[in-house]
Structure 1
Amino acid sequence: MSWRTPADALRNELIELFLNHPTESLSGETISEHFHISRTAIWKHLEHLESLGFVFDAAPRRGYRLLSTPDILFEPLLQPHLSTHSLGRSVLYRPVIDSTNRWAMELAEHGAPHGTVASAKEQSAGKGRRGRMWASPEGGLWMTLVLTKPIPLSRAGELTLLAGVAAAQSLRTLTGLDIRIKWPNDLLLNGRKLCGILAEIRAEAETVHTAVLGIGLNLTVAREDVPALLQETMISLSPSTSSPWTKARVAGAILSALEPLYDSLCQDAAGFSGVRSEWIALCAHMQRTITVRLGEQVVTGTCVDIDERGTLTIEVEGKRVQVPSGEIVRTEVW
């Protein structure tokens, strides 16, 4: 089984052909000769693309012209927004998938190249931290990266932290909004959850050989489309900003910012230590009183630091407590 079907590849090439001829109508004969397939096959591929939201004008003797493209993370639509070598250069899209993280790991097992993105319009069983469900209806950017460059297992925890910095900085630059990081894997806007990041790994001995990095961002998700328990804690980028941010533009900015940070980690170089000061500056709860759940234990103290491996330090009654993993369940910033 291949990681990508011939139909996926051909549809990408078909859209690229239309994008390269934005004002022209392409005849069925021209397209048929270009791809060496029948006109009937062309029609079937165009019909599938129309089901995804692409709009074509079809006229006898003139042929086909692409009129508009949907706001989806489709490979040819993402490429103009990238300044990467690998991340996002291959993309697979499905209207609905159970989990892009699960799908991305499956793609990796079938040979998907490093940097491949698995994306969907909607997830039916999106993954959150600690096995929770992640509500991901239509209106969000739901994507997962396949990462196959090896990194030391001891540094795997830095991956989520690096992604948080890349996403927060990118979104702040794009929107001008005061987007903050909540340790270890969320982005907040006005104290509410805007984005979640989840990394899952496959390791042998002391080396991570495959990781999938999921990024779920509420772009235009309506509050009524998420479970009632989440409605008061979530927020979407729109209507927080008046500009219509396309999924391709937002994803391109995040991936372009992430690639050099991830490459540094792969080279066992700076990694998170290289952006630690930026993380601290973006943190929503640094020098604030927080409550952290550590398994069955709950600890309240002042968040005072994070080290180069992502371990949080809180001060509790004059003593410093190291928190390598856990969950912030309350902070005075909210």
Structure 2
Amino acid sequence: MKNEILKLLKKNPDSFVSGQSISDYLKVSRTAIWKYMNGLREDGYKIESVSNKGYKLLSSPDLLTFEEIEPYLNTNFIGRNIIHFNSIDSTNIKAKKLADSIVKDGTIVIAEEQTSGKGRLGRNWISPQYKGIWMSIILKPDLNPIEAVKLTQIAAAAVVTGTEEFGIKTYIKWPNDIVINHKKVCGILTEMNAELTRINYVIVGIGINVNIDETEFPGDIKHIATSLKIESKKSINRQKLAGNILNNFEKLYVQFVKQNDLSSSINICRENSALIGKNIIIINRETSVEAKAIDIDEDGRLLVEYKDGRRESLISGEISIRGKESYI
């Protein structure tokens, strides 16, 4: 109901909407409308009310609720159900708890802050309040479990395309990091629950440093982390960015799951690769070896060439990659 009221107010940004007209349209009492308006105010919406005139929306809060992201969505199912938290330990942890009760693809768990954000290999992810996009997508694709790793490539492609729509060029550090100027701006964590030949669910976690200031990064990661605001020198509309990414994700995800076609995602990953043509260090448990990144194949594997001329396709999740001279 709150979303419907917000839509009415946003359709009339320069005029008052009478309580009676809202009541008639939504078929609820004036008292109910008054209660919903108070609820919206508690959520951070500034609403002016004048007797005999009605209600007028003055400003909206910078929140990643469905009501605020929905105007930017053109999806059919991804993001059409958003479970929002002001603060949470980890959106991936919560999404896994909810996944069994979620029937369809596309529910989003999103938070303004994570107190125990999860990164790859068990690392922590700094997630300050109102400064980023910390979200997890609950998916239930009809895929062989071995194919689930490719969803990371889809998410990476969706993020770089979404930031490009803001005029910000980002690059993919295969398989799950998005970087700018050799620094990490986004991480993707894909987790799966499956049986031998059947996926129960996949959680695709996406954490983006959006409006974090340079002084807000701890000293031990300042040299490897950045934000879209730092790099673009402007604040970014988090709601629009979230909508852009979800729109791109659905398009690429449907193409893969319904048409068995990963080519668009792989092409985006190739064109925006931070690794191809670069000398890298491949870290596998306690060992590391130098190689050159040659290409990303049609299955999303990284093709590398070692010093002895031998080539190998690396599978996401098996190894870690580092740049020879820096993080990338």
TM-score w.r.t. length of structure 2: 0.88
The one of 137, 143, 146 equivalent to 1:151 is 143
TM-score w.r.t. length of structure 1: 0.87
1:218 aligns with 2:209: yes
CA–CA separation in structure 1 for the residues paired with 2:264 and 2:18: 53
Contact in 1 for aligned 2:290/2:307 (Cα 8 Å): no
Contact in 2 for aligned 1:223/1:234 (Cα 8 Å): no
Deviations 1:165-185 (A, max 9, x none): 12112212321x331100110
Cα drift, residue 45 of structure 1:
4.0
CA–CA separation in structure 1 for the residues paired with 2:88 and 2:20: 35
CA–CA separation in structure 1 for the residues paired with 2:62 and 2:295: 40
What secondary structure does 2:220 align onto? helix
Aligned residue number for residue 322 of structure 2: 329
CA–CA separation in structure 1 for the residues paired with 2:185 and 2:157: 14
1:315 aligns with 2:305: yes
Aligned residue number for residue 3 of structure 1: none
CA–CA separation in structure 2 for the residues paired with 1:275 and 1:75: 26
Letter in 1 for 2:7: E
The one of 241, 245, 251 equivalent to 2:242 is 251
- How do 1:1-334 and structure 2 match up within 5 A? 10-28=1-19, 31=22, 42-111=33-102, 113-138=104-129, 139-175=131-167, 177-242=168-233, 244-267=235-258, 269-271=260-262, 273-318=263-308, 319-324=310-315, 325-332=318-325, 334=328
Contact in 1 for aligned 2:86/2:112 (Cα 8 Å): yes
CA–CA separation in structure 1 for the residues paired with 2:104 and 2:5: 21
Contact in 2 for aligned 1:164/1:185 (Cα 8 Å): yes
**Structure 1 residue ranges without an equivalent (≥5):** 1-9
Letter in 1 for 2:226: I
| Paired residues, number | 323
Letter in 1 for 2:112: K
Cα drift, residue 237 of structure 1:
0.9
Deviations 1:294-325 (A, max 9, x none): 12221211112222222223222222244222
Cα drift, residue 62 of structure 1:
3.3
**Structure 2 residue ranges without an equivalent (≥5):** none
CA–CA separation in structure 1 for the residues paired with 2:87 and 2:166: 27
> Cα distance 1:104–1:43, how it changes in 2: closer, same or farther (>3 A)?
farther
Cα drift, residue 93 of structure 1:
1.7
User: CA RMSD of the aligned region, Å?
Assistant: 2.4
Contact in 1 for aligned 2:134/2:206 (Cα 8 Å): yes
CA–CA separation in structure 2 for the residues paired with 1:30 and 1:131: 53
Letter in 1 for 2:190: A
